[in-house]
Amino acid sequence: MNSKNNLFLTSENSGKQAYIEMMEATIRAIAASMVDEQAYAGMPPYELRDAVHTDELLPEKGCGFAAILDEIKSKILPNLVRPASTNYMAHLHSAALVETIAAELIISTFNQSMDSWDQAPVATEIEVEVIRNLCKMYGYDENSDGVFTSGGSQSNLSGLLLARDWFCNEKLHYDIKKHGLPENFRKLRMYSSEISHFSMEKSAHLMGMGYEAVVKVPVNDAMQMDVDTLEKLIEKDIAAGNIPFCIAATVGTTDFGSIDPLEKLRELCDRYGLWLHADAAYGSGVVLSKKYAHRVAGLALADSITVDFHKMFLMPISCSASLIRDKRNFDALTIHADYLNREEDEEDGYINLVNKSMQTTRRFDALKVWVSFKMRGADGWSELITRCIDNAAYFHSILQADADCEVITAPEISSVVFRVLPPAGSSEDADTMNKRIRRALLHHHGVVIGQTVCNGNVCLKFTLLNPLQTHEKLDELLALILSLR
C-alpha cells in the first residue's frame, strides 16, 4: 500500500492534502458542468444505458482519482437532471440550497451516526434542539417529541405504527410490541383519501395488515377528503364489526397539493377514539410562509406529523422528520441492547436517539435544517416559500384565462395540474397529445415537467418548488407547450 495517506482526512498533512485536492477538483467539475439552463441535456434511455454499462466496476488495478473524475465529467455530470433549473418542475423533488450542501460536506466528512450519544455527541444535541423547535413551530407543546427519518415514507410508517400500537394498547388492552398482531387484526381499519400517497398501503402491508386495512375515502372538487362520506364509511365499518384506529390526513397531496380538513377530521377522531396522522410530506413547508401559514395551522391538531425537508424546504435528500404529539408513544420503538443503548445511559445524561427510531445507523440530517434556518431566518424563509405558492396561483390564473387549456383545481400550495386541448381539426386525441408534449419537452427542449391522470384523463403537472421561477418564465413555458400541440 502507498504510504501516502489518501484514505481519510486525519491530522496528517498527506490526508488533509488528499481531502482538499479531491474536494476542490470535484467542486470545480460540478460548477463547470452547469453550462446552460436546461433541466436535462443528457441522453435518452437506451443510449444512456449503452454509455454507462460498458466497463468493469472492479478492475484489477484502480485508475486513480484524476481518471475517475474525468469519467464522472464525461458520463455522469452531463446526464444528471438539474432540479435548480427553472425548466425543472416534474416532481416534489427540489434543488438543494447551497448552505445545506455545505452542511452535507460536514455530515459526510465526520460521518456521525445518530443511534447513540457516543457516536454523535454534538449531533445528538443539535437534533434534539431542532426537533424541539420544530414541534413548537407546528403548534405542539412540551409533551411532544420527534426524530429525523429517511423520508416521508418512513415518517408515515413510523406515525402509523405508533397509531396502531397506541390504539391496541389503549382500547384493546393488547400489546402488539410483545405479542405480535391480535387475533382480530384483519378488522383494523385506517382511512385516507383516494389520492393519498401510496406509502399508506405500503405501510399497512409492512405492518402485517395488508392493503385491505386502508379505506380510501373519496375527495371533493377541491381534491380534499370528503368528511361526510368518511363518517359514513366509519359507521359502516363499525356496523360490520371492523375496528377503525386511525385517520390519515394528507396535508398537500402529491399531485394537487390539496389539504384535507384537519379540524373536522380531529372532531371525528375524538368522537370515535381514533389517532389523527397528518402526512405533511409536501405541505409541511407552508408553515414558513407568513402569507400562507394559516392554511396548515390545523397540523397542531394531529397526533403525528410527517415533515419532509427534501421537498418544499429545498434540502438535500434525505432529510425528513416524524413528530409525535405525546412522546410516550415512542415507547413502541424502544428496545434496549447492551452493546448500544444501555438503560443507565439516560440516567447519566447520554441521549441515545435510536430509542425513537426505526433506523439504527442514521445520518446527521438535522444539521442541514439547523444551518439553513439560522442562516436565512424566518423572513428569508417566508420569502422563498411564499414565492413558490404565489407562482402557482399565477400559473393557475393564466391557464384559466386560456381557452386551449383545462385546469383541474385551484392550487392550495404550489402544484398545478392541467391539460392542453388539441387545436380544432387535429386528429390526435388529447391524452396522446399531452403525453407526446411531455416527452418532447424532456428530450428536445431541456424542460422536465410532470404527468399524471385525473378523472381518467392524462394531465400535465407543474410542481413549483423553485423560488427562482418567475411569471415571465411561466408565460414562456406555457407558450412553448401550446406551440407543441
Q: Site for ligand PLP (CB under 6 A): how many residues?
A: 16
Q: Secondary structure of 372-406 in the HEC alphabet?
A: HHHHHHHHHHHHHHHHHHHHHHHHHHHHHCCCCEE
Among 85, 304, 320, 414, binds ligand PLP (CB under 6 A): 320
Residue 171: partners with Cβ closer than 8 Å, 6 or more residues away: 245, 273
CB of 183 to ligand PLP, least distance (A): 31
Diameter over CA atoms, the chain? 78
CB of 4 to ligand PLP, least distance (A): 41
DSSP SS3 for 215? strand
Q: Could you give the string, one character per residue 187-216, with x where binding to ligand PLP holds by CB under 6 A and - elsewhere?
A: ----------x-x-----------------
**Chain residues 258-287 in contact with ligand PLP, contact rule CB under 6 A:** 279, 281-282
Does position 249 interact with ligand PLP (CB under 6 A)? The reply is no
In terms of CB distance, is 311 or 387 closer to ligand PLP?
Answer: 311
Among 89, 90, 92, 417, binds ligand PLP (CB under 6 A): 92
CB of 319 to ligand PLP, least distance (A): 9
Residues 252 and 412: their CA atoms lie apart, in Å, by: 8
Does position 234 interact with ligand PLP (CB under 6 A)? The reply is no
Residues 450 and 409: their CA atoms lie apart, in Å, by: 16
Place of cell 459526510: 108
Residue 330: how many other CB atoms lie within 10 Å:
18
Among 151, 159, 316, 467, binds ligand PLP (CB under 6 A): 151
CB of 317 to ligand PLP, least distance (A): 8
In terms of CB distance, is 321 or 477 closer to ligand PLP?
Answer: 321
Among 42, 146, 152, 261, binds ligand PLP (CB under 6 A): 152
CB of 253 to ligand PLP, least distance (A): 6
Does position 254 interact with ligand PLP (CB under 6 A)? The reply is yes
List strands edge to edge, sheet with 304-308: 145-149, 320-324, 304-308, 275-280, 243-250, 188-193, 214-217
CB of 257 to ligand PLP, least distance (A): 9
DSSP code of 216? E
CB of 258 to ligand PLP, least distance (A): 10
In terms of CB distance, is 176 or 280 closer to ligand PLP?
Answer: 280
Among 469, 101, 160, residue whose Cα is nearest residue 319: 101
List strands edge to edge, sheet with 457-463: 88-89, 448-454, 457-463, 415-420, 405-407
Q: Secondary structure of 82-105 in the HEC alphabet?
A: CCCCCCEECCCCCCCCHHHHHHHH
In terms of CB distance, is 168 or 200 closer to ligand PLP?
Answer: 200
CB of 202 to ligand PLP, least distance (A): 10
8 Å CB contact between 434 and 420: yes
CB of 251 to ligand PLP, least distance (A): 8
Does position 413 interact with ligand PLP (CB under 6 A)? The reply is no
CB of 156 to ligand PLP, least distance (A): 6
CB of 279 to ligand PLP, least distance (A): 5
Among 124, 153, 258, 304, binds ligand PLP (CB under 6 A): 153
In b/e form, how buried is each residue of 209-237, taking b as 16+ CB within 10 angstroms?
beeebbbbbebeeebbbbbeebbebbeeb
In terms of CB distance, is 69 or 287 closer to ligand PLP?
Answer: 287
Among 119, 250, 322, 469, binds ligand PLP (CB under 6 A): 250
Does position 369 interact with ligand PLP (CB under 6 A)? The reply is no
97: phi then psi, degrees, rounded to nearest 5 = -60, 145
8 Å CB contact between 303 and 327: no
Does position 365 interact with ligand PLP (CB under 6 A)? The reply is no
Does position 308 interact with ligand PLP (CB under 6 A)? The reply is yes
Residues 385 and 392: their CA atoms lie apart, in Å, by: 11
8 Å CB contact between 415 and 458: no
In terms of CB distance, is 258 or 352 closer to ligand PLP?
Answer: 258
Residue facing ligand PLP at closest CB distance: 152
Taking 3-state DSSP, the helix, strand and coil percentages for the chain, each rounded to the nearest 5, stand at 50, 15, 40
DSSP SS3 for 142? coil
8 Å CB contact between 253 and 193: yes
Amino acid at 417: V
CB of 324 to ligand PLP, least distance (A): 17
In terms of CB distance, is 250 or 469 closer to ligand PLP?
Answer: 250
Residues that bind ligand PLP in the complex, under the rule CB under 6 A: 92, 151-153, 156, 197, 199, 250, 252-254, 279, 281-282, 308, 320
